[in-house]
Structure formats: structure tokens, C-alpha cells
Chains A and B, each alone.
Chain A
Amino acid sequence: MKPVGVLRFLGTNCDLDVFGALESLEASPQWLWYEDQFNPADYSGFVLPGGFSYGDYLRSGALAAKAPVMKSLEEANSKGQPILGICNGFQILCEAQMLPGALIKNKGLKFIDRFVDLKSVTQSAWGFDQKIHIPIAHGDGCYFATDDVVKSLFDNDQVWLTYEDNPNGSVKDIAGLLNKNKNVAALMPHPERAMNSWMGSRDGLVLLNQFLELR
């Protein structure tokens, strides 16, 4: 299997965590630097890790979405390659218009770090049966889209994950999203922080394995 490309922007701070998690799952991760373009065919899939690219200045993900590496990622998207965005990765994919909608400031206006329970909604290959328990850590995690877009998300089976107890005011409790083509997936919670029982949960494995199996 070809390696998984891990995108690294200035200010990305969950890069090493995601890289380590993928290594532990033997997915042979490789760095993709924000200034460089790449050949999509050299990779089996892509992950955009979380964490404050460009300090979240202007709008979360907005400045990273304009980086050269995103041109290649768009190409990979058009070829239908699997792409996973986590937290800031989700925000970047929305700003790059590879996913609909936007992530805005949490309803309570504060950054929230805590474990949440999620369930899977989609009938697509990204779906699964069990409930999972993993941490969130974000200030801009409230998913927003206009009513007609939200309706189309459900009509097109694009809702990947929802919160059991909505922490941030996301519309329809949406925690994770798919694109229409089902090759791009993104979520606000952090699966790479729930890989071992000493971390408080191993449920992150379910999500990362789901992505790796689709390669």
C-alpha cells in the first residue's frame, strides 16, 4: 500500500500526534509540506491534522486553505482519493470548499476540551454501529450551514457523525461530515487522542481504521 500523506501547515500542532497514530496503525505516513505540491498518485490517502494553522487568525483554516499544497490536494480530491480532516483540518477543508458549510465560534464562546459521545449517521462505507467516546478540543467547532444546505447534507447521506450531547451549538448536532462523493471526511473530535486505554479511550481506532480501510 502507498503511504498516507500528512499535510503540515505553519502552526499545525497535532501533526506529530496524527503521524504517530498512523505509524502505530502501520499506515506509513509521510509529510506533505504546505509550500510544496505533490503527485496524488504517490499516496493512498491524505490526512489534515488539527491545531491552529496560522494561529487561527482571520478565520480558522482560511489562511492554510490558500497554501500551495492545497492545489495538489484538490487534484487528489478530483481523483476521488480518501481525505480525512481532523479539527483544524475540517476547518481548512470547509474554507477550501471541499466540504460545504463553515465552522464558527462555539455557542458558549469558549474553547472546550472534554470527552464527548458520538454516533454515526451515514449509511455509506464510513458508517459504523457502536457509540464512540473521544475528546474534542476546539474554540471554533460550531458547524453552520444554511437550511437548504443542511437539508441536502441529510438527503445526500453526507452526515458522518453527530454529538450525543451537543457541546458547541453545531446545527443538527453535526460533528463530522462527508462530501457528496464520499471520499472526503472530516470531524471536529480528535481520534488520535483516543488510541489507548491510558488515554481514557481507544475509540479513535474505529475512526482511523475506517479511513484506512477505504484506501
Chain B
Amino acid sequence: MSLVKVTLKVMPKPEVLDSAGRAVAEVLKKNKFNLQSCRVGKSIELELEDSPNLKKDILKMAEFVLYNPLVEQIEILNEGELS
């Protein structure tokens, strides 16, 4: 079995207030940087054995604990590379 690396991006949902993003944007704007908005999320790297159900397994893990669907959304960044 080969190991694959999966990168997940967890972001606050668009309709949900992102407190951190708001604060970071304010400071950047104050320092004369030109930007419209900023949102702060996190990325998660998983290393696991490849399997035919890989995507399903990852989503299961995501739902189990990796993100809170009420306020966050998740995306598999390197989905194209996975079998």
C-alpha cells in the first residue's frame, strides 16, 4: 500500500463572520496595503494509506472532528492527485 498526502483547507463559511479576518484586514488597510477583504482559515495535512474509498474516508474524518459544518467549510486541495 502506498502512502498519500492529503491537504485540507478549512475556511469560515462565507456567510459567517470571520473575526480574525476582519482584524487582519483592518491592520493591513491601516498600513496602506490595498485589499478588499481577508479571511483566515487553516490547513490540515493528513498522511494515510491509499485506498479505493480514500475520498469517502477523508470526508468521514472531516465530519468526525476536523471541521464544524455549522460555521466552517472544508475543501480537499489536492483532490485531483488522489486516485
Query: Is A57 a contact of B24 with CB atoms below 8 Å?
Result: yes
Interface assignment of B27: CB less than 8 Å from any CB of chain A = yes
Size category of the binding interface on chain A: under 10
Interface assignment of A80: CB less than 8 Å from any CB of chain B = no
Provide the bound-state CA to CA distance between A10 and B24, in Å.
12
Q: Which of A57, A63, A66 contacts B19 (CB 8 A)?
A: A57
Residues of chain A within 8 A (CB-CB) of B27 are 54, 63, 66
Provide the bound-state CA to CA distance between A66 and B24, in Å.
11
Query: Is B31 a contact of A63 with CB atoms below 8 Å?
Result: no
The SS class assigned to the B binding surface is helix
Interface assignment of B20: CB less than 8 Å from any CB of chain A = yes
Provide the bound-state CA to CA distance between A163 and B19, in Å.
34
Residues of chain A within 8 A (CB-CB) of B20 are 55, 57-58
Query: Is B40 a contact of A66 with CB atoms below 8 Å?
Result: no
Interface assignment of B23: CB less than 8 Å from any CB of chain A = yes
Contact string against A for B residues 1-38, beta-carbon threshold 8 Å, 1 for contact and 0 otherwise = 00000000000000000011001100100010000000
User: Which residue from chain B places its CB closest to the CB of A64 in the assembled complex?
Assistant: B27
Provide the bound-state CA to CA distance between A177 and B23, in Å.
29
Query: Is B23 a contact of A54 with CB atoms below 8 Å?
Result: yes
User: Which residue from chain A places its CB closest to the CB of B21 in the assembled complex?
Assistant: A57
Query: Is A57 a contact of B40 with CB atoms below 8 Å?
Result: yes
- Segment 50-83 of A: residues with Cβ below 8 Å from B: 54-55, 57-58, 63, 66
Q: How far is the CB of A104 from chain B (nearest CB, A)?
A: 15
Contact string against A for B residues 59-81, beta-carbon threshold 8 Å, 1 for contact and 0 otherwise = 00000000000000000000000
Provide the bound-state CA to CA distance between A87 and B70, in Å.
33
Residues of chain B within 8 A (CB-CB) of A55 are 19-20, 23
Residues of chain A within 8 A (CB-CB) of B24 are 57-58, 63
Q: Which residues on B are within 8 Å of A, measured CB to CB?
A: 19-20, 23-24, 27, 31, 40
Question: Contacts A57-B23, A58-B23, A63-B24 given; 16 further ones with Cβ under 8 A?
Answer: A54-B23, A54-B27, A55-B19, A55-B20, A55-B23, A57-B19, A57-B20, A57-B24, A57-B40, A58-B20, A58-B24, A58-B40, A63-B23, A63-B27, A66-B27, A66-B31
15 A–B contacts, CB within 8 A, in A order? A54-B23, A54-B27, A55-B19, A55-B23, A57-B19, A57-B20, A57-B23, A57-B24, A57-B40, A58-B20, A58-B40, A63-B23, A63-B24, A63-B27, A66-B31
